[in-house]
Structure 1
């Protein structure tokens, strides 16, 4: 099966590598072509345009920034007419309604559409241990499960298109909430001179503990947010998506609005492209 991966960024690159390692014929496309070139020696064909990637494959895997980027790449006047008999597997984080609208546009052009957002970051993408959540018809899920299993051993069928996108937003909201809550507690511990090892020891034994706390502890202590698995700017994008969806559904979002302000302040500190744990710098400013 010929597969194109469109969007060779932090996650798209390891996904393409997984497919190449499984002996799939892979075409890769990225708006900045230089980011795709390292995959060429591994056997990938580098497309110069989205149209080339679409025409050369049966399945298009999208790991693009947002819904606007998706529309620009596959639903432009140059590309939309070429989606007939193609299957789109959308793996980025977008809003449920955005996903449903893209599905309608793809199907109107004679293609089919699945959403398969993932939980995990670069290490899990490289290892093939991502948590893959699929919004699709049951028949589509079964047909494309072998491809999705290259990224995570147990893809889960959540429901129809839109349900997996909603679940992904709910999980990413927890990333923001847990990380900001931990950063605030750690900031108080530091300023009050409490032994951090004792704090963490008690926390790990409690029902309050989440593994992400240990993953981000050293970064926060060292204030080293380089080489991100998930940049701050992407977290802000996802929080905004969640807020819009939650407000449409009549939920009280005041807590998350406060977290968003913290993330915005982090970006104002020049940490947009750093790991999202950099929000510690906005919560616990250096004296």
Structure 2
């Protein structure tokens, strides 16, 4: 074998070795869950965290602890990033040494932030020869590695397909939402809007119930009944909004506003802040004021969209 052939074979071996590995940057609860899933799948997993010490359990499971972020990203063709926000992403990836080590490699950023930050990060990546996919994790850390995990991805589809076999070791579903790099973050923002608004409503309901002598456990089964009503309404109202049809046959916005006023009154009678419900009632009153009192509450989506 010639030295040239030997060099080509060595290069191919190195490429194969690097492709069979993955790096995880960020070892909070979600980052550790991602790394554990890769390790359990038998992938050579390199880990790094800005605060030392969080990798002990992972190293015990077989992970390679990188002494620096640049050495971590150099260890793999694919780097998965999951940190607190894009400011933290920038602090890690945009140092000269890390940027240089990432050239020609792929970053899948599963950090939560806003669509505009995703687009600006993608522009930076393109400028520096870094292959970039944005993404979002829509389920809690304990679901990672199980069929219940939900991952959203946006950006170049071919990049997702190239790394799909590795990413699917994280379990669950992996949905490509489109080439617009900001789409995963947009879905994430919209879906978390539903979640946190609902959680705020539940917290408020528990406070009102307690003030009336009802325990949280007493209320919980009935609260679950309310939650069960929502999925078919979500589906129906999605069709209504897309079609521009805001029929209030089931429950006109005038009825909704009246119900909300009762909640505000009962809350404030106990000294409980009703600011969130006052805001929602205000939206309903504005819809009525525009002459749409016979429409359903979902007409508010059009009002806010303006």
Normalised by the size of structure 1, how large is the TM-score? Answer: 0.69
Of residues 155, 159, 171 in structure 2, which corresponds to 1:140? 159
- Evaluate the alpha carbon distance shift between residue 207 and residue 46 of structure 1 in structure 2; reply closer, same or farther with a 3 A threshold: closer
Q: Which runs of 5+ in 1 are unaligned?
A: 212-253, 260-287
Of residues 122, 134, 141 in structure 2, which corresponds to 1:103? 122
More helix by share: 2
Inter-partner Cα distance in structure 2 for 1:183 and 1:165: 26
- Of 95-104 and 198-207, deviating more is 198-207
Q: Is the counterpart of residue 58 in structure 1 residue 51 in structure 2?
A: no
Question: How far did residue 194 of structure 1 move?
Answer: 3.2
Aligned to 2:55: 36
The C-alpha deviation readout for 1:216-256, integer Å capped at 9, x for no partner, is xxxxxxxxxxxxxxxxxxxxxxxxxxxxxxxxxxxxxx959
Aligned to 1:240: none
The C-alpha deviation readout for 1:84-113, integer Å capped at 9, x for no partner, is 111000001011111111112112221210
Aligned to 2:198: 178
Q: Is the 8 A contact 1:134 1:157 kept in 2?
A: yes
Question: How far did residue 200 of structure 1 move?
Answer: 3.2
Question: How far did residue 129 of structure 1 move?
Answer: 2.7
Q: Is the 8 A contact 1:18 1:128 kept in 2?
A: no
Q: What aligned pairs does 1:116-265 form with structure 2 within 5 A after superposition?
A: 116-125=135-144, 127=146, 129-160=148-179, 161-194=181-214, 196=216, 199-206=219-226
Inter-partner Cα distance in structure 2 for 1:39 and 1:197: 38
Q: Is the 8 A contact 2:136 2:188 kept in 1?
A: yes
- Evaluate the alpha carbon distance shift between residue 4 and residue 197 of structure 1 in structure 2; reply closer, same or farther with a 3 A threshold: closer
SS of the equivalent of 1:93 reads coil
Question: How far did residue 23 of structure 1 move?
Answer: 1.1
Q: What is the number of residues matched between the two proteins? A: 217
Higher-Rg member (1/2): 2
Inter-partner Cα distance in structure 2 for 1:202 and 1:75: 50
- Evaluate the alpha carbon distance shift between residue 25 and residue 207 of structure 1 in structure 2; reply closer, same or farther with a 3 A threshold: closer
> Which fold has the larger relative contact order, with Cα–Cα distance below 8 Å and residues 6 or more apart in sequence?
1
SS of the equivalent of 2:100 reads helix
- Evaluate the alpha carbon distance shift between residue 196 and residue 33 of structure 1 in structure 2; reply closer, same or farther with a 3 A threshold: closer
SS of the equivalent of 1:159 reads coil
The C-alpha deviation readout for 1:161-201, integer Å capped at 9, x for no partner, is 10001111111222220111011111111111236555333
- Evaluate the alpha carbon distance shift between residue 128 and residue 92 of structure 1 in structure 2; reply closer, same or farther with a 3 A threshold: farther
Inter-partner Cα distance in structure 2 for 1:164 and 1:44: 29
Question: How far did residue 6 of structure 1 move?
Answer: 0.2
Inter-partner Cα distance in structure 2 for 1:150 and 1:210: 32
Q: Which runs of 5+ in 2 are unaligned?
A: 1-19, 232-274, 281-306
Aligned to 1:20: 39
Normalised by the size of structure 2, how large is the TM-score? Answer: 0.65
Stretches of 4+ aligned residues off by more than 4 angstroms? 195-198, 207-211
Q: Is the 8 A contact 1:89 1:114 kept in 2?
A: yes
